[in-house]
Structure 1
Amino acid sequence: MSVWPQIDCSGRRLGYARVSTKDQKLRMQREALKAIDCDMVFEDFGVSGSKSSRPGLDKLMKALRPGDSVIVFKLDRLGRSVLHLSDLLVRFQDMGVHFVSLSEGINTTTPGGKLVFHIFSAVAEFTREIIVENTHAGLDAARAKGKRLGRPRKLSIEQAMIAHQMIALGKLTANDIAARYDVHPRTVDRALDRADVREAA
């Protein structure tokens, strides 16, 4: 008897595998996706989940058609954060694409598994509200502190907080922010550190 779930979908089975560092191996993920009879497998090797753009994942998203199933070995292989993962699952639902995570036993091709889409949709909405609320609180705190003495920063605390919100919501990358303000990406990183939002971003 197979340890893997039955996947009943009208389309293709598209697998996705990722490891964060070059020292890690894709073997376990590849074997699991092979055992589930994936039609194609997209991979990102040595790519951190924090990267907003991943070549393998980008190719997978472009290849998807209604009725397909996206299959991963573990949830954390797909999303770089809870919000990113939730957004992807909501996109899958809107596209008519199923999602299966083998380790967690998530399978939206089953009636019970469809509840996962609704849960992650609620999580995404809640997380966005928290991010916006925290950004507004940070902006209020920054305004209350007033002007600082010394050499002016290239990015203010207010700009850093807004940048954090845009990055956290997946609307812009750090490079996008740098280009918008005509600064080096490292300047954006330092501004986020100063604003004490690095972990959330």
Structure 2
Amino acid sequence: MLVGYMRVSKADGSQATDLQRDALVEAGIGPEQLYEDRASGKRDDRPGLDACLRALRAGDTLVVWKLDRLGRSLAHLIDTVNKLNSRGVGFRVLAGQGASIDTTTANGRLMFAFFAALAEFERELIVERTQAGLAAARARGRNGGRPFKMTAAKLRLAQAAMGQPETKVGELCAELGITRQTLYRHVTPQGELRADGLKLLARKGRSVMIAANGAREQAG
């Protein structure tokens, strides 16, 4: 059995599914086997698509007008179609880029494999670029991830304050913009450095050294 899925991006009535509906009906899909959504392809919560996927059974074929009507990205499309294949459900595209995809035929499966290879290549490029960017940042004394709430300057203030008997820890944390947990990870109640505090100052020292070397190179 053929099952059709349609989607337009806007739900305000400014876009219509007529063109998609006509193409799907012409492909042999009955009106009662058509599902639709009026939502962006980037959204995960598409009730029409959810209902469509639930209705599919082994031996059925999901048909869309164009490839971008189904998924929000090439990787998402590949994942969705692979899940359909594992259930014994075919997938067919009628027009546009990917129109030669029909996983119920040998040529169509070959074309889908080509798209899957492109998606994998795209993922590998993203990983390579991310790793290269992080390596370059580390070489300049920067680390990826969220910025540290405790800085070297805050740490020095915390050291001095924690050594004073009149210091109220809650007020000190509010002043520095950190939590008690962060404070005690870096200093003891007596103001002595703990492991995280030593690491923070070591990172700061490396950053200063790198910056100084860069300034000397520019001056030279």
Q: Flag whether TM exceeds 0.5 (same fold).
A: yes
Q: Which of 93, 107, 118 is equivalent to 1:112? A: 107
Whether contact under 8 Å (1:79, 1:85) holds in the other structure is: yes
1:121 aligns with 2:116: yes
Deviation at 1:144, TM superposition (A): 4.7
**CA distance 1:159–1:68, shift in 2 (3 Å):** farther
Q: Which of 18, 27, 42 is equivalent to 2:35? A: 42
Distance 1:121 1:159 in 2: 33
1:138 aligns with 2:133: yes
The one-letter code sitting in structure 2 at the alignment partner of 1:38 is I
Structure 1 stretches of at least 4 aligned residues deviating more than 6 Å after TM superposition? none
**CA distance 1:121–1:31, shift in 2 (3 Å):** same
**CA distance 1:157–1:19, shift in 2 (3 Å):** farther
- Which structure is larger by alpha-carbon Rg, 1 or 2? 2
Distance 1:159 1:68 in 2: 47
Encode CA deviations 1:74-108: one digit per residue, 9 max, x unaligned: 11111211222222222222222111111124322
**CA distance 1:59–1:134, shift in 2 (3 Å):** farther
Larger RCO, structure (CA 8 Å, separation 6 or more): 1
Structure 1 residue aligned with 2:196: none
1:27 aligns with 2:13: no
Q: CA RMSD in A?
A: 2.5
Structure 2 residue aligned with 1:13: 2
Distance 1:62 1:52 in 2: 15
Deviation at 1:134, TM superposition (A): 2.5
How many residues are aligned here? 140
List gaps (5 residues or longer) in structure 1. Answer: 1-11, 148-155, 161-201
Deviation at 1:27, TM superposition (A): 0.8
Deviation at 1:42, TM superposition (A): 1.4
Q: Secondary structure at the match of 1:51?
A: coil
